[in-house]
Structure 1
Amino acid sequence: MDGTVLIADDDRTIRIVLTQALTRAGCRVHATGSLAQLSKWVEEGRGDLVITDVMMPDGNGIDRIPAIRDARPDLPVIVISAQNTIVTAIRATEAEAFEYLPKPFDLPDLMAKANQALSRRPRKSDPLPDAAAPRPAADPAMPLIGHAPAMQSLFRMVARILNADLPVLIAGEPGVGKTTIARSFHDLSDRRDQGLAILTSADAGDEAISRAADKARGGTILIENPAGFDAAAQARLIGLIESLESGPDRALAPRIVATTGPDPQADVAAGRLRSDLYYRLAGVTVTVPPLRARVDDILPLAAHLLARAVTQGLPDRALGDDAAALLRVHAFPGNVRELENMMRRLALTASGPTITAAEMREALTQQGASRAAPLTVVPVPAPSSAAAEGAGPAPYQLGGGNGPLSDSVEAHLQRYFDLHGDSLPPPGLYDRILREIERPLLQVALDATGGNQLRCADLLGINRNTLRKKLTELNIEVTRRRKLM
């Protein structure tokens, strides 16, 4: 890799890491915590690549891209940001950033993108795009945040097709936020100043469809779950789309965005959705991942939803560390909608400003009582045969006799790998899994020993100093108490 890289980030650690990595790769590096200094370097003609953060003390890195492009049209810009929202991805795309990567980023991935940018041969004949139009701030009612790779992939897809004239079909499980994504295709697009009409199976008569077409003239028509429409209504939708595509007012035809279940082709095969309607709707299909495929987003989403509850008149609450640990491992079959309902209920019922582990445990129990029994771990009875003597402790087993705990862990890990399809999970899996197991183990053991670290270390079979080190690393608070007899 060869070239000069300009880095702008107010985080000194990131500047050091990137400087060392790029220098080892053969680049020359200039790093700063100021956008003003970055602009000065660009105007002086320095640099073959810019890597910039978004939120800086003296401005916004994305807002600075048009000026960089004016001064140096061939200078590529890679945007890195902790603002992991769909609006950030869209604005970076509109500003013609070479690449957008969320923090914490994968260093090898960033190095590969930097190599691509430095290796790119600029074409002088390429027309310069207009400066990006100003965007409204992210709507606090839209929980379109997420650092997980699945969500970042979704954000990039939305950004690329936001202003295309193709119809969009948004697929996903119930409660994942399909309607929110669908509305973003209107609210964040060039059509946002025109009308938005929503059609559901409850109101899909001739008059309703005609009103929707008139209301959404030049805007967007959102069709909620077309597979739930009866045959006559689906035929009317086909007629609507054909008239919009071939009518005299094609220039003002609204864009069609539809939501559907996780497998629309299965709906077609089962006869719930007409194939000719499906192909008219699926110009581009966007799949919204469930929460179990974006575990790292659960806590940021929960904090966002608690903050949103405050704007709706509910008390201001925050998650305690132990409550957050419990929430993060919940399966969330109800997805974002379930999480939102739970956060609203906790905002109302929590006894103080910080939601405790006991309050979270009760909320999770109430939420999941109708779906499945809670997970319990019990020792398997030791075999009575003399041959079993000296065999060591019995393996642990899930309550109900469902097999050893290791089987449950294996099933969980296999599901985690399956969710990534043909791709592998992000690097660092070994440490992440160990942390997931280690923290609750230490917390339960401390609770069982009344906070006595000596007894807890003995129970766990580790040195007391080792236990203290782990408690510090995991930020686990220890409270001594007497057990009530």
Structure 2
Amino acid sequence: MDGTVLIADDDRTIRTVLTQALTRAGCRVHATGSLAQLAKWVEEGRGDLVITDVMMPDGNGIDRIPAIHEARPDLPVIVISAQNTIVTAIRATEADAFEYLPKPFDLPDLMSKAGQALSRRPRRSDTSPEMTASAPRESADPAMPLIGHAPAMQALFRMVARVLNADLPVLIAGEAGVGKTIIARSFHDLSDRRDRGIAVLTSADVGEGSIGRAAEKARGGTIVIENPAGFDQAAQARLIGLIEALESGPERAAAPRIVATTGPDPQADVAAGRLRSDLYYRLAGVTITVPPLRARVDDILPLADHLLARAAAQGLPERSLSDDAAAMLRSHAFPGNVRELENMMRRLALTASGPAVSATEMSEALSQQTSPRMPMMTGDSGPVEQPSAMSAATPMPGGNSRLSDSVEAHLQRYFDLHGDALPPPGLYDRILREVERPLLQVALDATGGNQLRCADLLGINRNTLRKKLTELNIEVTRRRKLM
């Protein structure tokens, strides 16, 4: 690797690490904690590559990129940032950064990107200015809509940034509670269409008149369609007609963009007849899959801090997590995804007895959740979920055994996994909830998503069923009538 690299970061440790790594790779390196100093070097014609942080004591690194490109159009800029939000990724892309990497970054990955950037432009001679001292970092904005350092989320952010202003329809897939609707709204709120209208269509708003009114309201803006697989066949046909009219009608230049949300496997919905294939292919111009929270364990604590800060900004008491409470939270499997985490943080903000949530308070909050699963372990291929108290990790007893025998075998395995220690407190409620969740899901599936028939099958009141579905974050999809 050959060339001169200009580094701007207010963290002295990061400057030192990058300077040593790039020097060993054969580069000349000049590092500073000041964007003003970086601008001076650029104006003097120094450097073949810029690596800059975002939040600096004298400004924002992304805001400086247009000036860098104006002065030196051929100078690539790599952005590194601890603000791991979708807004940061989009702004870096819009500013034409060569690459954006979240902190803490993978050093070999950054070195690879630096090598690619240096190989694409001519070299310049340079002299050696001196390094300046570091300064405190500004805190992240607690109102940022989506955050995530995990590779899966960073890949999602990059995809959103690339297609944000494209004229393609977008299909956002994922489990219930992962934040699909927030991402769908981001396609409008962060795009060039943000000053136009937005309309949201659900299974309750798909009459002939309502679809037309949505198109008029969102003229030039965005239509968000939530879970089209839950629409009846007539409504899906009307949506197809709407999309065809928008694509080929006389006012197609002012047509709104279509963004739809769906379950984790829309193709399975097509195969099962829940989603018309011709509608699916009209919606899936670009498909973006949102990972569940249990697949990005490193995001749990930053998200929890973000949600507590947002709760405080909305008038709830200011809270933080004790170390023991944080460790306990990180071990939870989160079947309800980000929505479950948000509900839990708001509840703890209200009920915690002091400024720091204790381990006991966290244990009580977790005992009210839906899953008694064990912590995630990291294997060679990524996170591997340990079995829960009712996990299928334990082989089922013989075919003639009673259900109670199977349950006993699973529970014994769960206790054995803890060795000489006992499972976390609250086991009784957690076990009952874990049995309850699959019971409701299987019953809903058997009744085609018809909540009235499901309530009759279970022998409970329909309102009780609805309450439980909400508490357990179970997404209901209506299917075609049973024969």
Superposition TM-score tier, normalisation by shorter sequence = 0.7 to 0.9
1:311 shift after superposition: 2.4
| 8 Å CA contact retained: 1:143, 1:304 | no
Q: What does residue 69 of structure 1 align with?
A: 69
Residues in 2 aligned to 1:399 and 1:279: alpha-carbon distance in whole angstroms:
43
Within 5 Å, which residues of 2 pair with 1:355-370?
A: 355-368=357-370
1:401 aligns with 2:412: yes
Q: What does residue 399 of structure 2 align with?
A: none
1:366 shift after superposition: 1.2
Deviations 1:104-154 (A, max 9, x none): 0000000000000000147xxxxxxxxxxxxxxx98565400111111010
Unaligned runs of 5+ in 2: 123-139, 375-386, 391-408, 425-483
| 8 Å CA contact retained: 2:170, 2:260 | yes
Residues in 2 aligned to 1:169 and 1:236: alpha-carbon distance in whole angstroms:
18
1:310 shift after superposition: 1.5
Distance 1:186 1:139, change over 3 A: farther
| 8 Å CA contact retained: 1:140, 1:308 | yes
Residues in 2 aligned to 1:15 and 1:141: alpha-carbon distance in whole angstroms:
29
Q: What does residue 78 of structure 2 align with?
A: 78
Unaligned runs of 5+ in 1: 123-137, 377-397, 410-440, 445-485
Q: What does residue 350 of structure 1 align with?
A: 352
Q: Which amino acid aligns with 2:261?
A: T
Q: What does residue 274 of structure 1 align with?
A: 276
Residues in 1 aligned to 2:202 and 2:45: alpha-carbon distance in whole angstroms:
56
Q: Which amino acid aligns with 2:277?
A: S
Within 5 Å, which residues of 2 pair with 1:109-128?
A: 109-121=109-121
Q: What does residue 108 of structure 1 align with?
A: 108
Deviations 1:278-324 (A, max 9, x none): 00000000000000111011011111111111222221111111100
Within 5 Å, which residues of 2 pair with 1:237-316?
A: 237-316=239-318
Deviations 1:321-376 (A, max 9, x none): 11001000100000001001111111111111111000000000011379999759
| 8 Å CA contact retained: 2:321, 2:356 | yes
Q: Which amino acid aligns with 1:400?
A: L
| 8 Å CA contact retained: 1:142, 1:180 | no
Residues in 2 aligned to 1:243 and 1:371: alpha-carbon distance in whole angstroms:
49
TM-score, normalising length: structure 2: 0.74
Residues in 1 aligned to 2:388 and 2:243: alpha-carbon distance in whole angstroms:
49
1:46 aligns with 2:57: no
| 8 Å CA contact retained: 1:84, 1:145 | yes
Where 1:198 maps in the other structure, the secondary structure is: strand
| 8 Å CA contact retained: 1:219, 1:253 | yes
Q: Which amino acid aligns with 2:283?
A: L
Within 5 Å, which residues of 2 pair with 1:363-382?
A: 363-368=365-370
Residues in 2 aligned to 1:54 and 1:11: alpha-carbon distance in whole angstroms:
12
Deviations 1:393-420 (A, max 9, x none): xxxxx973328967x99xxxxxxxxxxx
| 8 Å CA contact retained: 2:335, 2:370 | no
2:226 to 204, 224, 227: 224
Distance 1:182 1:239, change over 3 A: same
1:150 to 128, 149, 152: 152
Q: What does residue 472 of structure 1 align with?
A: none
Range that drifts further, 187-196 or 347-356:
347-356
Q: Which amino acid aligns with 2:228?
A: P
TM-score, normalising length: structure 1: 0.74
Distance 1:140 1:188, change over 3 A: farther
Residues in 1 aligned to 2:303 and 2:354: alpha-carbon distance in whole angstroms:
21
Residues in 1 aligned to 2:106 and 2:371: alpha-carbon distance in whole angstroms:
39
Where 1:145 maps in the other structure, the secondary structure is: coil
Q: Which amino acid aligns with 1:80?
A: I
1:163 to 162, 165, 168: 165
1:215 to 214, 217, 239: 217
Where 1:259 maps in the other structure, the secondary structure is: strand
Where 1:401 maps in the other structure, the secondary structure is: helix
Residues in 1 aligned to 2:244 and 2:169: alpha-carbon distance in whole angstroms:
13
| 8 Å CA contact retained: 2:344, 2:365 | yes
1:212 shift after superposition: 0.3
1:182 to 181, 184, 200: 184
- Larger RCO, structures 1/2 (Cα 8 Å, 6+ apart): 2
Deviations 1:138-184 (A, max 9, x none): 98565400111111010000000000000000000000000000000
Distance 1:101 1:371, change over 3 A: closer
Distance 1:240 1:333, change over 3 A: same
Where 2:412 maps in the other structure, the secondary structure is: coil
Q: What does residue 91 of structure 1 align with?
A: 91
| 8 Å CA contact retained: 2:333, 2:371 | no
Residues in 1 aligned to 2:204 and 2:389: alpha-carbon distance in whole angstroms:
40
Within 5 Å, which residues of 2 pair with 1:364-443?
A: 364-368=366-370, 400-402=411-413
Q: CA RMSD in A?
A: 2.4
Matched residues, percent identical? Answer: 84
| 8 Å CA contact retained: 2:373, 2:389 | no
Residues in 2 aligned to 1:7 and 1:405: alpha-carbon distance in whole angstroms:
52
Residues in 1 aligned to 2:305 and 2:36: alpha-carbon distance in whole angstroms:
33
Q: Which amino acid aligns with 1:93?
A: T
Q: What does residue 9 of structure 1 align with?
A: 9
